Amino acid sequence: MRILVTGGAGYIGSHMVKLLGEGGYDVLTVDNLSEGSPQFVLYGALRVVDLLNFKALEEVLLEFKPHAVIHFAAKVKVPESVKKPLLYYENNLMGTVNLLQAMERAGVKYLIFSSTAAVYGIPQRMPVKEEDPTNPINPYGWSKLFAERAIRDYSYSTGIKYAILRYFNVAGADPEGRIGQVSKEPTHLILRAVKVATGQIPYIEVFGADYNTSDGTCIRDYVHVMDLCEAHLRALEHLIAGGESDVFNIGYGRGYTVLEVINKVKEVSKVDFEVRYASRREGDPPALVADSTKAKEILQWKPKYDDLEFIIKTALNWERKYINR
């Protein structure tokens, strides 16, 4: 079966390509290489195409004729989205619209879409369920929510099947250490913390210690990247077997504060690095924890790495390996 992966040279996409390749799927990556790197595409070919270039995108789809598309390519940094909202609407919404149009031309029937817990904004209850209100508090969340809407409406009019996966905080790396997270300007907590632990950044900042949580810092539900990719595979199988289009939260249902994460990175790395307190970061909800019962029941998603220590270990292993290249 042919699967086209957008953003397959990036962090999550490259782990997905690995999982698909190992599973015997015929995979093709489409990536503009704005964040990704060709060396992370372990299976199948890479086509360097920007989703905003409709002609080039259409050509790839018409040529490869995928059975399904898994769509990761996007801008994903909350602080950047606050500063450059149009960049986010352009890439995340218009990129998705172009992809849907190219899929229509090529007759592709299945789409797995990478969405985010940021669509919930500040949830009214925790853990969050899929039917809870969506009300993003930053342009990143809105750009993904608009893209979700476009997918649903397009599905309604054409009958294509979709699975929208709303990720909570994705972290960690391939347990075999072949690929991991690389970012030109890293903003994510675990990535930054392991970079501090490996001496690439001098100290870590805690953005806000005055939230209404156990230690005053924000709570997030960190999910290992391979478990997340596994959920995509399950979603794909679900749709192909005739399952209904649907939206699924992907997280472990357990939250950790920023300080708990930092202390775990110190413990795992055995490096007592410097921590500085800074003001709140714009666009940050105080807590985000998933209720993923639906993914477990309907997709039969069975996470294997629900362990913060393991997530940090794999992230740290990758970081040590990558800087030593």
**Residues found near ligand UDP in the complex (CB under 6 A):** 78, 169, 187-189, 192, 204-207, 218, 220, 258, 281, 284
Q: Considering the complex, what minimum distance in angstroms separates the CB of residue 10 from ligand UDP?
A: 15
CA distances from 79 to 216, 258, 280 (A): 20, 17, 11
Instruction: Exactly one of 11, 25, 43, 140 is catalytic; name it.
Output: 140
Buried b (16+ CB within 10 A) or exposed e, 271-291: eebebeeeeeeebbbbbbbbb
Q: Which of 101, 105, 199 lies closest to 151, judged by CA?
A: 101
Cα–Cα distance for residue pair 181/114, rounded to 1 Å: 17
Of the two residues 98 and 134, which places its CB atom closer to ligand UDP in the complex? 134
CB of 161 to ligand UDP, least distance (A): 28
Q: Check if 88 is active-site.
A: no
- Minimum CB–partner distance for residue 80 and ligand UDP (Å): 11
CB of 231 to ligand UDP, least distance (A): 17
Q: 317 in helix, strand or coil?
A: helix
- Taking the least distance from each CB to ligand UDP, the nearer of 43 and 256 is 256
Cβ–Cβ < 8 Å for 185, 145: no
- Of 281 and 296, CB closest to ligand UDP: 281
Amino acid identity of residue 226, one-letter, is M
- Choose between 66 and 283: whose C-beta lies nearer to ligand UDP: 283
- Cα separation values, 314 from 118, 218, 309, Å: 25, 23, 9
CA distance 93 to 86: 10
Which is nearer to ligand UDP, 79 or 175 (by Cβ)? 79
> Closest CB to ligand UDP belongs to which residue?
218
30: which DSSP letter? E
Residue corresponding to tokens 């969506």 = 134
Give me the least distance between CB of 234 and ligand UDP, in Å please: 23
Q: 3-class DSSP state for residue 214?
A: coil
Q: Report the nearest approach of ligand UDP to the CB of residue 258 (Å).
A: 4
CB nearer ligand UDP, residue 66 or residue 127: 127
Phi, psi dihedral angles at 60 (to 5 degrees): -65, -45
Alpha helices by DSSP H, listed for the chain, are 11-22, 54-64, 78-83, 85-88, 95-106, 139-158, 189-197, 225-240, 258-269, 293-298, 308-323
- The residues assigned a catalytic role are 140
